[in-house]
């Protein structure tokens, strides 16, 4: 049954052609039986437009109405073919604007009134019979056809609206997925940059030192080699966390083998939070690892001092990682751009609602040659922005370079963390 219905839907012209033929048969048969030859062109005038009703609803309706009016004027009596006008009124209401279809309805009602006037004139019928006939035979069917068509139009508009909304939702979802992917890529790029820039540059410095001390001071050379292997191992561990995040994004069902470390790399990042805990294959650095970082930096030849002001607050994982990375990259920059004699000073200040960082050096500052791609400072700003914070970086008035950051700690989170 539904197959037949589908087939009919796919061939609307054929369906309308058959409909027109059936109606025309009714009109022509009446004409032949009553020997009213004028009924033949009148029948064709109202039924042929049915074939084109869907493609040209207004044109088809207008043609049939013209034929019907000619029929009334010529005094040709109504026939079953006139049902075509009702079908065309329905189509007009279903496929065109309401204004057009109301106009069509009015024309139909006027036409039927004229026809009824003529009938009453010709035959003597009582007024009540006439009114009954008028409403049953003419006005009623016209109204019904119009109401059916109009509700059809309403339903179609409703479904079109639903479809449009579904399409829009799908587009929105795609766009959001793309934004989340871009944010995730940026985040991974930041992590990679900071891990690689810091650890590899420490290893290079240590390797240079080891090469230098090899002949003269084997003990120092051994120390440097130990520092290189420790740094390399740390870099590997951090990279593994990053790869763990990537892998668990590819395959959400995979379970992480090791318990969560002190800082989930995933915290706060769009589209990744579902991997929290699962991706933590190794501890992710936070403020707790700051001492190790400073030791490592000192071992790589940069003098660093550190001071903490205020009551240390437990930080949310993401904020702690951001703070660690900002300090790490600032120190890497001092080693890289500040010149061989530069010293750095790290200051952490806990206020009631934020962690404020300042990494200051007395290096070359604005005089440093700028050859970097600038991913480090950009990454710091992005990291801070992710947690509603800010970063300012630039050369200082009287020499050196300073990076300051403010990372808000929501009071609720600060107490809950
Ligand atoms: N401590 C610093 N001393 C002098 N210049 C710096 C310092 N930190 C950053 N800069 C300048 O800012 C630029 C951008 O730094 P960054 O974004 O970390 O990129 P990169 O370190 O790859 O060059 C550097 O190229 C350098 O010119
Ligand atoms: Mg840098």
Q: DSSP 3-state assignment of 366?
A: helix
Q: pLDDT at position 192, please? A: 85
Residues 417 and 316 sit within 8 Å (Cβ to Cβ) = yes
Query: Considering 77, 103, 124, which residue would you say is the last residue of a domain?
Result: 124
- Number of DSSP helices (H) and strands (E) in the chain, helices first: 13, 5
| Ligand 1 pocket: which of 189, 303, 329, 336 to mutate (most atoms within 8 A of CB) | 336
Asked whether residue 260 is assigned to any structural domain, the reply reads no
Exposed/middle/buried for residue 19 (C-beta within 10 Å: 0-12, 13-18, 19+): middle
Report CA 332 to chain centroid distance, whole Å: 38
Domain encompassing residue 394: 285-417
Q: What is the reported pTM? A: 0.58
Give the ligand at the shortest distance from the Cα of 401. 1
Asked whether residue 344 is assigned to any structural domain, the reply reads yes
Asked whether residue 186 is assigned to any structural domain, the reply reads no
| Ligand 1 pocket: which of 372, 373, 395 to mutate (most atoms within 8 A of CB) | 372
Query: Considering 124, 149, 178, which residue would you say is the last residue of a domain?
Result: 124
Asked whether residue 133 is assigned to any structural domain, the reply reads no
Q: pLDDT at position 245, please? A: 67
Asked whether residue 378 is assigned to any structural domain, the reply reads yes
Cα(87) to ligand 1 centroid in Å equals 79
Cα(212) to ligand 1 centroid in Å equals 27
Query: Considering 109, 124, 139, which residue would you say is the last residue of a domain?
Result: 124
Structural domain count, the chain: 2
Q: pLDDT at position 281, please? A: 43
Report the CATH number at residue 384.
3.30.565.10
Q: pLDDT at position 257, please? A: 33
d(CA 184, CA 268): 11
Q: pLDDT at position 151, please? A: 95
Instruction: Count how many Cα atoms sit within 13 Å of the Cα of residue 131 in the half-sphere of its side chain.
Output: 2
Cα(102) to ligand 2 centroid in Å equals 73
Asked whether residue 185 is assigned to any structural domain, the reply reads no
| Ligand 1 pocket: which of 302, 368, 369, 405 to mutate (most atoms within 8 A of CB) | 368
d(CA 63, CA 66): 5
Q: pLDDT at position 187, please? A: 83
Which pair of structure tokens corresponds to residue 309? Answer: 């002001």
Strands ordered across the beta sheet of 343-350: 303-309, 343-350, 354-361, 401-408, 390-395
d(CA 237, CA 230): 11
Give the ligand at the shortest distance from the Cα of 391. 1
Q: Which atom of ligand 1 is nearest to the CA of 369?
A: 27
- Kindly tell me the sign of the dihedral angle through the C-alpha atoms of 231, 237, 241, 247: positive
- Using CB distances shorter than 6 Å, the residues near ligand 1 are 333-334, 336-338, 361, 363-365, 368, 370, 372-377, 401
Q: pLDDT at position 240, please? A: 82
Please provide residue 344's backbone torsions phi and psi, each rounded to the nearest 5 degrees: -125, 155
pLDDT, tens digit, 9 for 90 and up, residues 170-199: 999 999 999 988 887 888 888 888 888 899
Give the closest residue (by CA) to ligand 1 atom 27.
370
Asked whether residue 58 is assigned to any structural domain, the reply reads yes
d(CA 103, CA 101): 5
pLDDT, tens digit, 9 for 90 and up, residues 350-395: 999 999 999 999 999 888 887 656 789 988 998 898 889 999 999 9
Residues 105 and 89 sit within 8 Å (Cβ to Cβ) = yes
Asked whether residue 166 is assigned to any structural domain, the reply reads no
Q: pLDDT at position 169, please? A: 95
Low-confidence spans in the chain with pLDDT less than 50 = 251-282, 413-414, 417
């Amino acid at each position: 049954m539904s197959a037949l219905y589908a087939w009919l839907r796919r061939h609307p012209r054929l369906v309308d052609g058959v409909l027109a033929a059936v109606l025309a048969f009714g009109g022509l048969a009446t004409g032949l039986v009553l020997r009213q030859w004028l009924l033949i062109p009148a029948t064709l005038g109202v039924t042929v437009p049915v074939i084109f009703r869907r493609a040209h609803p207004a044109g088809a309706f207008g043609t049939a109405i013209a034929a019907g009016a000619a029929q009334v004027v010529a005094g040709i009596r109504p026939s079953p073919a006139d049902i075509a006008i009702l079908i065309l009124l329905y189509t007009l209401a279903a496929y065109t604007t309401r204004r057009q279809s109301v106009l069509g309805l009015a024309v139909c009602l006027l036409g039927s009134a004229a026809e009824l006037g003529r009938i009453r004139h010709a035959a003597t019928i009582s007024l009540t019979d006439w009114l009954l006939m008028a409403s049953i035979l003419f006005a009623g069917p016209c109204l019904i056809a119009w109401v059916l068509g109009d509700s059809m139009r309403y339903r179609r508009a409703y479904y079109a609206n639903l479809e449009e909304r579904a399409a829009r939702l799908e587009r929105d979802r795609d766009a959001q997925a793309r934004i989340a992917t871009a944010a995730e890529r940026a985040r991974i790029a930041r992590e990679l940059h900071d891990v690689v820039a810091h650890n590899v540059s420490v290893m290079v410095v240590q390797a240079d030192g080891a090469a230098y001390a090899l002949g003269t001071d084997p003990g120092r050379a051994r120390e440097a080699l130990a520092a290189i292997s420790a740094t390399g191992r740390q870099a590997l561990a951090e990279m593994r966390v990053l790869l763990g995040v990537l892998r668990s994004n590819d395959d959400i069902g995979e379970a992480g083998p090791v318990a969560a470390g002190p800082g989930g790399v995933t915290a706060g990042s769009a589209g990744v939070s579902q991997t929290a805990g699962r991706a933590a294959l190794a501890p992710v650095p936070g403020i707790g690892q700051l001492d190790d970082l400073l030791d490592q930096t000192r071992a790589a030849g940069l003098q660093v001092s550190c001071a903490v002001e205020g009551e240390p607050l437990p930080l949310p994982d993401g904020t702690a990682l951001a703070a660690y990375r900002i300090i790490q990259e600032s120190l890497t920059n001092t080693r890289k751009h500040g010149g061989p004699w530069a010293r750095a000073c790290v200051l952490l200040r806990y206020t009631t609602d934020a962690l404020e960082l300042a990494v200051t050096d007395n290096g070359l500052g604005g005089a440093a040659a700028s050859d970097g791609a600038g991913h480090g400072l950009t990454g710091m700003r992005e990291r801070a922005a992710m947690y509603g914070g800010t970063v300012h970086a630039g050369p200082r008035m009287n020499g050196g370079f300073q990076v300051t950051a403010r990372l808000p700690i929501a009071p609720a989170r600060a107490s809950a963390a």
